[in-house]
Amino acid sequence: MGSQIRLLGLCLWMYLACLSFIGVGAVYGREGEVLEGIVLVHGKTAIGRIDDDSICATLDWWPSQKCDYGKCSWGHASLLNLDLNNKILLNAVKAFSPLKIRLGGTLQDKVIYGTEDCRQPCTPFVLNANEMFGFTQGCLPMYRWDELNSFFQKAGVKVVFGLNALAGKSIKSGSAVGPWNYTNAESLIRYTVRKKYTIHGWELGNELCGNGIGASVAADQYAFDVGALRNIVENAYRGFEHNKPLVIAPGGFFDSDWFKEFISKSGKSVDVVTHHIYNLGPGVDDHITEKILDPSYLDGEANTFSSLKSIVQSSATSVKSWVGEAGGAYNSGHHLVSDAFVYSFWYLDQLGMSAVYDTRTYCRQSLIGGNYGLLNTSTFMPNPDYYSALLWHRLMGGRVLSTTFYGTKKIRTYAHCAKQSKGITILVLNLDNSTTVEVNVALKFNKLPYRRVGEPARREYHLTAPDRNLHSQTMLLNGKILSVNSAGEIPPLDPLYVNSRKPIIVGPLSIVFAHIPNVLLSACS
């Protein structure tokens, strides 16, 4: 029996290799156990699509008094007090050109807008344990909205604004009933149009679907409210057909029955359905790292993506799905986990998995704030996930390819047609703490590879932590520390150029992007 299994394995190896075998090159010396594996990339058709600007990050409303488990991690990261003149912040956002930023979060359904016709005092949030979410109602002054939009214009941001969906509703036993009072929201939208501020999308509500967080809205009522938002957008942007914002909802946790009813009853009112992901549990959990490095745990979220994709495809609409907010671990994350190197395994796996299921955009909680910001809340310096996001943004194109890995369950692979260049980009995550894996690339249903004279066959980006310290807030690219310079400029992300006939060497607890430009696939033509 053993010889038969070995023969079967050899046959599979030879079969895959003969499909179209492309090796890739060693960067690190071997250490510990060394395994061989094959990533088979299916190149006939794309299995999903992502937006060119699929990377998105959030800015939240939380005041500095927001605390979790006795620790206050938000500082001055709120939309109301963030230092918009910080050079690192500006450069970090500009590096994406553009970056989608979703403005919203838990307190958005307690925000009023200080427009001319607002009849309430425009006062900030105040800590109050007797109020829902622990804070009173707060207000966005129009001078601050002007400042934010000035920054967004300079930085090259595509703005998604989360509107207060609880306005006018009464809350009874956790259910928010009655129609949405859109007067104040419409006033903000019309102010925004008059000021000629560009908005990519208006999103209605935060975590009010299904059982809701704090309060819930029934699916049929939510669909009715979104219809009202659609009418406001159509009227306010009449004459701006080429620049009309998307209508987005519901920005909450996936509930199959609720989403199915909402999408059905919304009809053409909604362009994008958004859902939130905090699949790693509470930020106080001491086992988050173990969850991240457990392939079976990571696989669990595939059910959500798959179910939502099925609902969207079976609907009679052209609605698209996004992840509107994802921080992994809720209640502000976990210091030295969600702001450290180890989180890139979760984050990049989420980006790869969501794309396989046709999720067009993925909004990370947060750009800055809490313990899960792409930028450090105090210093604005990029955390490791910032560089992971930037590499994804620059390398992973809009067409998603199916991959199968043969070798070990600790390797996770994703592939896309390359972005703004020929070929493909493969993402490899090695969750094992001692095993180096030599990954060979095989192509199925490909056209003949080609190679231009003098053009390097493959470009590799190896991401590691110093001394394999998973809780380090420093990231190495090809062995070199990534850090901003004294002018606050984001460092270049330069690849290694590698002989195409050698395998990709993926060290223990490391991440590799491999761009292979000399490959033509039917899916990418």
Q: 3-state class of 276 per DSSP?
A: strand
Residues 416 and 393 in one domain: no
Q: Tell me which residues are annotated as active site.
A: 207, 325
- What's the domain count of the chain? 2
In a domain, 58, yes or no: yes
Domain limit, last residue, from 343, 371, 397: 397
Domain boundary among 397, 412, 439: 397
Output the pLDDT for position 31: 54
- What contacts 316, CB < 8 A, 6 or more positions away? none
Note whether 451 and 391 are same-domain residues.
Answer: no
CA quadruple 13, 14, 19, 22: dihedral sign: positive
Residues 372 and 432 grouped into a single domain: no
Q: What residues in the chain have per-residue pLDDT under 70? A: 1-31, 446-456
Distance between CA 503 and CA 497 in Å, rounded? 13
Residue 27 lies in a domain: no
CATH code at 498? 2.60.40.1180
pLDDT of 456: 65
Q: Tell me if 1 is assigned to some domain.
A: no
The amino acid at residue 496 is: L
Strands (E), 6-61: 21-22, 34-42, 48-49, 55-59
pLDDT digits (tens, 9 = 90+) for 459-496: 999 999 999 999 999 999 999 999 999 999 999 999 99
- Tell me, rounded to whole angstroms, the distance of Cα 300 from its chain centroid: 17
Instruction: Tell whether 448 and 312 lie within a shared domain.
Output: no
Residue 369 and residue 349 share a domain? yes
Same domain, 327 and 423: no
Look at residue 13 and tell me if it is in a domain.
no
Asked if residue 277 is part of any domain, the answer here is yes
Is residue 207 in some structural domain? yes
CATH of the domain at 265: 3.20.20.80
Same domain, 470 and 384: no
Amino acid at 121: P
> Are 511 and 428 spatial neighbours (Cβ–Cβ below 8 Å)?
yes
pLDDT digits (tens, 9 = 90+) for 416-465: 999 988 899 999 999 999 999 999 999 987 655 555 555 668 999 999 99
Is residue 22, in this structure, part of any structural domain at all? no
Which of 397, 416, 443 is at the close of a domain?
A: 397
Residues 344 and 203 in one domain: yes
Domain co-membership, 281 together with 417:
no
423 is written with which tokens?
A: 């070929």
136 shares its domain with 282: yes
Judgement on whether residues 326 and 462 belong to the same structural domain of the protein: no
Return the amino acid letter for 434: S
Task: State the residue range of the domain holding 129.
Answer: 50-397
Residue 181 token pair:
């009072």
Degrees, nearest 5: CA angle 145-149-150 = 115
Quick one: 446 and 307 in the same domain?
A: no
Are the CB atoms for 486 and 506 separated by under 8 Å?
no
Residue 505 lies in a domain: yes
The bridge status of strand 99-103 relative to strand 21-22 is: unpaired
Q: Among residues 351, 370, 445, which one has the least CA distance to residue 41?
A: 445
